[in-house]
């Protein structure tokens, strides 16, 4: 578990001390085998306790040693914590508990990039929002990594919230189910009743082919088929393009570059023209499906960027492809 603690000037030295005391208290609840890292952040991130399963090391964390750090680089701090957690064995659950009293104002990394990096590293982020400020970025950070957002308003809640999160992670029910095999945003509602006690939660996940959590440069491949030696789309390609159109309409900030590629048969000039015409045909189809033309670019690369050597018909088929690349999000 990584504790990522806000030490920005808005916290103030007294609250920083109370925060550190709360973390020092909760790590004494940890059981043998748990691995801990503790980071403080403002405009930069300081790893105060590198990842370790040695309880004598992480229990030596000094609450009195906290210093204010100018700025608030939340997403950069998350990235620094991920680097520590990636040093743990793959069978470990990788958890970040992020505490902050404000919004990011100095990260080099974006929210979406932080979420993507966490997901790629199998890291779940639990966020604690202290005080009055917009919780939306923290909610997205938690939701995008299958974590949870907690909101508190008093320093008296510091010890309890950390203990609550840790105990919830140690004692839980795992519910497995087979989701519907369809794209788009899904909502999951789960209820649990034990005698007179009951609880209920709602979660979301997005099965769209493109989402706002995908970073600039993300490439999606689809087997878009054309008539032989033409830029005419075959009917079986239209349902695939409808999935792209639906995703773009659901996420209006996305701008996509459609890239056409061919195999090595034919001249460079001919393949360049054919790939450009095919990319433009895809753009026209997406526009007809309701996507704004201003959000689409068409580029043909001909045979200049093969995925694999053109040494067999199977390889040539792989090289004849259409790519959808996020160029703005």
Spatial CA neighbour of 188 closest among 198, 169, 175: 175
Q: What is the mean pLDDT of residues 250-265?
A: 92
pLDDT at 183: 66
Q: What is the mean pLDDT of residues 225-242?
A: 90
Q: What is the mean pLDDT of residues 71-81?
A: 97
pLDDT at 203: 75
Domains and CATH numbers, the chain: 2-170 (3.40.50.410), 219-328 (3.30.1330.60)
Q: What is the pTM of this model?
A: 0.64
Q: What is the mean pLDDT of residues 220-231?
A: 86
- Residue 286 to residues 194, 242, 246, 258: CA-CA distances in angstroms? 50, 8, 10, 10
> Helices 111-120 and 136-144 meet at what angle, rounded to 10?
20
Spatial CA neighbour of 298 closest among 285, 317, 313: 285
pLDDT at 129: 95
pLDDT at 213: 64
Half-sphere exposure of 190 (CA within 13 A, CB side): 9
Q: What would the pLDDT profile of 86-137 be if each residue is shown by its tens digit?
A: 999 988 999 999 999 989 999 999 998 999 999 999 999 999 999 888 889 9
CA dist., res. 44 & res. 174, Å (int): 36
pLDDT over 80 at 215, yes or no: no
pLDDT at 294: 96
pLDDT at 212: 65
pLDDT at 174: 74
- Residue 87 to residues 41, 56, 83, 84, 92: CA-CA distances in angstroms? 20, 19, 7, 6, 10
Q: What is the mean pLDDT of residues 186-202?
A: 83
pLDDT at 176: 80
pLDDT over 70 at 39, yes or no: yes
pLDDT at 275: 94
Q: What is the mean pLDDT of residues 174-201?
A: 79
Q: Is 113 left (phi over 0), alpha (psi -120 to 50) or beta?
A: alpha
pLDDT at 278: 95
Cα-Cα end-to-end distance for the chain: 31
* Residue showing tokens 């007179």: 196
pLDDT over 70 at 308, yes or no: yes
Q: Where does the chain have alpha helices with state H? A: 12-26, 55-58, 74-85, 111-120, 136-144, 158-170, 238-250, 268-288, 313-319
Mean pLDDT lowest among 22-36, 112-126, 198-212, 225-239: 198-212
CA dist., res. 139 & res. 136, Å (int): 5
CA dist., res. 299 & res. 280, Å (int): 8
Instruction: Tell me what the pLDDT averaged over the chain comes to.
Output: 91
The pLDDT > 90 percentage for the chain reads 66
């Amino acid at each position: 578990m990584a504790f990522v603690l806000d030490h920005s000037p808005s916290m103030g030295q007294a609250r920083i001390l109370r925060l550190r005391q709360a973390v020092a208290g909760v790590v004494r609840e940890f059981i043998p085998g748990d691995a801990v890292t503790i980071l403080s952040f403002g405009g930069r991130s300081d790893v105060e306790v590198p990842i370790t399963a040695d309880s004598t090391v992480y229990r030596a964390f000094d609450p009195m040693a906290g210093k204010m750090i100018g700025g608030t680089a939340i997403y950069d701090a998350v990235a620094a914590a991920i680097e520590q957690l990636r040093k743990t064995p793959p069978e470990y659950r990788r958890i970040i508990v992020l505490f902050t009293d404000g919004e990011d104002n100095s990260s080099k990394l974006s929210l979406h990039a932080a979420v993507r990096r966490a997901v790629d590293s199998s890291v779940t982020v639990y966020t604690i929002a202290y005080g009055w400020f917009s919780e939306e970025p923290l909610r997205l950070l938690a939701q995008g990594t299958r974590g949870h957002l907690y909101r508190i308003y008093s320093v008296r809640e510091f010890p309890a919230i950390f203990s609550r999160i840790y105990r919830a992670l140690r004692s839980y029910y795992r519910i497995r189910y087979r989701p519907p095999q369809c794209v788009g945003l899904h909502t999951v509602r789960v209820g649990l009743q034990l005698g007179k006690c009951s609880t209920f939660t709602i979660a979301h996940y997005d099965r769209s082919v493109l989402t706002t959590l995908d970073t600039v440069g993300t490439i999606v491949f689809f087997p878009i088929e054309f008539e032989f030696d033409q830029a005419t789309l075959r009917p079986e390609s239209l349902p695939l393009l409808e999935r792209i159109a639906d995703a773009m309409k659901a996420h209006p900030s996305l701008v996509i570059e459609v890239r056409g590629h061919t195999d090595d048969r034919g001249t460079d000039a001919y393949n360049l023209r054919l790939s450009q015409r095919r990319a433009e045909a895809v753009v026209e189809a997406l526009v007809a499906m309701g996507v704004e033309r201003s959000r689409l670019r068409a580029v043909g690369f001909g045979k200049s960027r093969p995925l694999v050597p053109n040494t067999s018909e199977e390889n040539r088929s792989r090289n004849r492809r259409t790519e959808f690349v996020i160029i703005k999000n």
